[in-house]
């Protein structure tokens, strides 16, 4: 049997492979749902849930036929998207609202808000499994989905009731539907609808058509051009239909949307990168996306990605599927490296690239196993080594996922020395308040009196308000609430600190610090603080000392 990379994949019949893909997607969704309760509420979730509630209230008004729900006033009242705040379009809010409607009777409020994005990510994982199997092999399909699920930062964002996970899912689904060789009108139309969903998630989604266009031009592919000729107008129509704020004044509304997303000066959020602060006025170095990829993808997965990318380049004519994956992986890596791109939040702003890097890892797995399968020219010892190497790679990724849980957004791989090495080199240990977990909340509950409250430095007030309403935040935090402040809570995100916070950290002893794993050795000893809690009196002393020295008390935007 010929099992070289030239041979077609040996797969079950299409209906059985489709069933297998559905089961894979279901498995991914179940894993995410099972791990979600242990993952704290992240920064943007409160705002996203608040906006999604507006969509739910609007839908109830439509169903009950109250007033004029499609009128300009009703749209402005319930759809806080596209032309308001920072200009995020609303599809992620629709996903959150629909998920809440389906699950709020049997899940708690936060998990119910996460249900829609989780199901969408499971659907995307199943689609990736199906497409990789049809293009390459079952080994490539398993390797791709395994790599995707075991990237700690992707795993974290796949849970959140926010926009980056849904954008990644929609982009992957669009890729899975782009089959130009046998494109029907219906399939091209569906591809366009899903592409429109990506456009309607977030501004980076407007880059989603680029890899398909580049691939079509590179391969001079007429079926691909036909598919795009159908899909692009459909995608624009879908974007319009999914954006009620555009319905009454589409031209001016779209101009506002573009202006808000291109001119991000009012959201000039800083980040610390290799010990220096960067923002829109001081752009990140051009290599930032490459470095972040190299230090946040599990170390063993990187050579599989390189092998898959190398195969895509070498075989770009004979195996065009690889160049499409390479284009998908490269698009946001390049755009995020441009000087005008927002610099904050690490890999979050180019998260879809990681999905296609995982698919390239699957291509690498396929190439490795094709040379070690029965009938190939490889010697048995060589086959054993390759299989053992793959087992070690994926076991290592799994161990990292377990070791960093649930603070997966603080993950750095062994190339930089894990979280200890990254922190020592000036990378931010955390950025999304995802360290405010049950350990921290239980400590605050035990050490805060009934007539006392807690002050959070640069918090998401929307998150804290919802957590308080749901009963998951056991202490009061509002300035107008009665009682004296007992504690001052700081997240170890240097770009979110003001000078008083730095002074406090440098000179005061915290009453409590949240770490991930204060055991182990070397890069596995995760004893770097993610959250520090100080006496409020110590905070006031730092304020007085800063005032006496004339230090500025301005706070950079925390993101």
Across 171-175, 194-198, 357-361, 554-558, least confident range: 554-558
Please provide the average confidence, as pLDDT, over all residues in the chain.
Answer: 92
Confidence of residue 5 (pLDDT cuts 50, 70, 90): very low
pLDDT at 47: 96
More confident of the two residues 266 and 461: 461
pLDDT in tens, 405-420: 999 999 999 999 999 9
In whole angstroms, give the CA distance from residue 267 to residue 279: 10
Q: What is the DSSP-derived secondary structure letter of residue 41?
A: P
Confidence of residue 106 (pLDDT cuts 50, 70, 90): very high
Confidence of residue 240 (pLDDT cuts 50, 70, 90): very high
In whole angstroms, give the CA distance from residue 185 to residue 404: 46
Q: In this model, does residue 200 exceed pLDDT 80?
A: yes
Q: What is the DSSP-derived secondary structure letter of residue 284?
A: P
Confidence of residue 10 (pLDDT cuts 50, 70, 90): low
Q: In this model, does residue 557 exceed pLDDT 50?
A: no
Average pLDDT over residues 92-120: 98
Q: In this model, does residue 194 exceed pLDDT 50?
A: yes
Q: What is the DSSP-derived secondary structure letter of residue 481?
A: S
pLDDT at 211: 97
Q: In this model, does residue 235 exceed pLDDT 60?
A: yes
Contact 175, 358 (CB under 8 A): no
Burial of 73 (0-12, 13-18, 19+ CB in 10 A): exposed
Average pLDDT over residues 468-487: 96
Instruction: Locate 233 and state its tokens.
Output: 């107008």
pLDDT in tens, 37-70: 999 999 999 999 999 999 999 999 999 988 899 9
Residue 455's SS3 state is strand
pLDDT at 559: 34
Q: Which residue reads 């000893």 in tokens?
A: 525
pLDDT in tens, 319-351: 999 999 999 999 999 999 998 888 889 899 999
pLDDT at 185: 85
Q: In this model, does residue 230 exceed pLDDT 70?
A: yes
pLDDT at 6: 45
Reported for 402-406, long-range contacts at CB under 8 A and 24+ positions apart, including other chains, are 403/516, 403/517, 403/524, 403/526, 404/152, 404/516, 404/517, 404/526, 405/35, 405/38, 406/35, 406/38, 406/39, 406/40, 406/156, 406/434, 406/437
DSSP 143-212: HHHHHHHT-HHHHHHTTSSSSHHHHHHHHHHHHHH--GGG--HHHHHHHHHHHHHHHTT-GGGGGTHHHH
Residue 243's SS3 state is coil
In whole angstroms, give the CA distance from residue 31 to residue 178: 28
Residues 6+ apart with CB under 8 A from 335: 204, 207, 341, 350
Q: In this model, does residue 389 exceed pLDDT 50?
A: yes
In whole angstroms, give the CA distance from residue 198 to residue 472: 33
Average pLDDT over residues 196-217: 97
pLDDT at 416: 97
- Which stretch, 177-181, 382-386, 399-403, has highest mean pLDDT? 399-403
Q: If we measure between CA atoms, which residue out of 205, 156, 191, 225 comes closest to residue 353?
A: 205
Contact 368, 390 (CB under 8 A): yes
In whole angstroms, give the CA distance from residue 444 to residue 484: 14
Question: What number of other Cβ atoms are within 10 A of residue 419's Cβ?
Answer: 28
Average pLDDT over residues 529-551: 87
Average pLDDT over residues 543-556: 60
Average pLDDT over residues 467-481: 96
Domain parsing of the chain, residue ranges: 26-401, 438-549
Cα angle: 520, vertex 525, 531; to 5 degrees: 135
Q: In this model, does residue 555 exceed pLDDT 60?
A: no
pLDDT in tens, 251-302: 999 999 999 988 766 788 899 999 999 998 899 999 999 999 999 999 999 9
Contact 366, 143 (CB under 8 A): yes
Instruction: Locate 475 and state its tokens.
Output: 């202490």
pLDDT at 378: 52
Question: Both ends of the chain: CA-CA distance in Å?
Answer: 56
pLDDT at 112: 98
| CA 119 to mean position of chain CA atoms | 15
Residue 478's SS3 state is coil
């Amino acid at each position: 049997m010929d099992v070289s990379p030239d041979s077609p994949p040996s797969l079950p019949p299409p209906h059985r492979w489709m069933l297998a893909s559905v089961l894979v997607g279901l498995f991914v969704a179940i894993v995410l749902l099972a791990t979600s309760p242990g993952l704290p509420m992240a920064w943007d979730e409160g705002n996203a849930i608040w906006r999604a509630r507006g969509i739910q209230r609007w839908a109830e008004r439509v169903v009950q036929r109250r007033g004029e729900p499609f009128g300009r006033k009703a749209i402005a009242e319930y759809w806080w998207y596209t032309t308001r705040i920072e200009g995020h379009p609303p599809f992620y809010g629709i996903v959150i609202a629909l998920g809440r409607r389906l699950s709020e009777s049997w899940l708690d409020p936060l998990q119910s808000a996460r249900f829609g994005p989780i199901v969408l990510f499971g659907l995307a994982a199943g689609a990736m499994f199906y497409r990789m199997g049809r293009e390459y092999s079952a080994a490539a399909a398993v390797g791709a989905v395994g790599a995707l699920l075991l990237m700690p930062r992707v795993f974290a964002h796949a849970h959140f009731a926010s926009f980056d996970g849904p954008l990644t899912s929609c982009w992957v689904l669009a890729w899975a539907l782009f089959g130009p060789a046998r494109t029907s009108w219906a399939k091209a139309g569906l591809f366009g609808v899903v592409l429109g969903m990506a456009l309607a998630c977030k501004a980076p989604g407007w880059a989603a058509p680029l890899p398909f266009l580049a691939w079509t031009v590179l391969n001079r592919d007429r079926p691909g051009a036909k598919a795009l000729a159908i899909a692009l107008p459909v995608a624009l129509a879908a974007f319009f239909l999914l954006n009620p704020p555009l319905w009454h004044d589409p031209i001016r509304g779209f101009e506002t949307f573009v202006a808000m997303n291109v001119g991000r000066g009012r959201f000039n959020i800083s980040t610390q990168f290799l010990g220096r602060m960067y923002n829109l006025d001081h752009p990140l170095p051009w290599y930032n996306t490459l470095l972040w990829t190299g230090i946040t993808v599990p170390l063993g997965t990187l050579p599989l990605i390189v092998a898959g990318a190398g195969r895509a380049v070498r075989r770009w004519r004979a195996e065009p599927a690889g160049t499409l994956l390479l284009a998908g992986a490269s698009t946001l890596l390049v755009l995020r490296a441009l000087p005008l791109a927002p610099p904050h939040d690490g890999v979050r702003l180019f998260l879809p690239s990681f999905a296609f890097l995982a698919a390239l890892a699957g291509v690498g797995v396929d190439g490795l196993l094709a040379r070690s399968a029965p009938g190939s020219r490889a010697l048995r010892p060589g086959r054993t080594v390759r299989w053992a190497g793959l087992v070690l790679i994926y076991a290592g990724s799994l161990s990292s996922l377990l070791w960093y849980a649930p603070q997966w957004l603080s993950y750095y791989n062994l190339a930089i020395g894990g979280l200890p090495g990254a922190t020592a080199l000036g990378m931010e240990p955390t950025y999304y308040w995802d360290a405010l977990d049950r350990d921290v909340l239980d400590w605050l509950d035990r050490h805060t009196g009934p007539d006392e409250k807690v002050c959070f430095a640069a918090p998401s007030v929307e998150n804290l308000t919802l957590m308080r309403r749901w009963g998951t935040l056991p202490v009061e935090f509002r300035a107008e609430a009665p009682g004296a402040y007992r504690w001052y809570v700081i997240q170890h995100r240097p770009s979110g600190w003001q000078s008083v916070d730095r002074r406090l950290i440098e000179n005061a002893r915290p009453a409590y610090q949240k770490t991930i794993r204060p055991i182990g050795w070397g890069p596995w000893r995760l004893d770097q603080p993610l959250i520090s809690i100080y006496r409020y009196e110590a905070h006031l002393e730092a304020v007085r000392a800063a005032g006496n020295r004339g230090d500025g008390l301005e706070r950079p935007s925390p993101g």
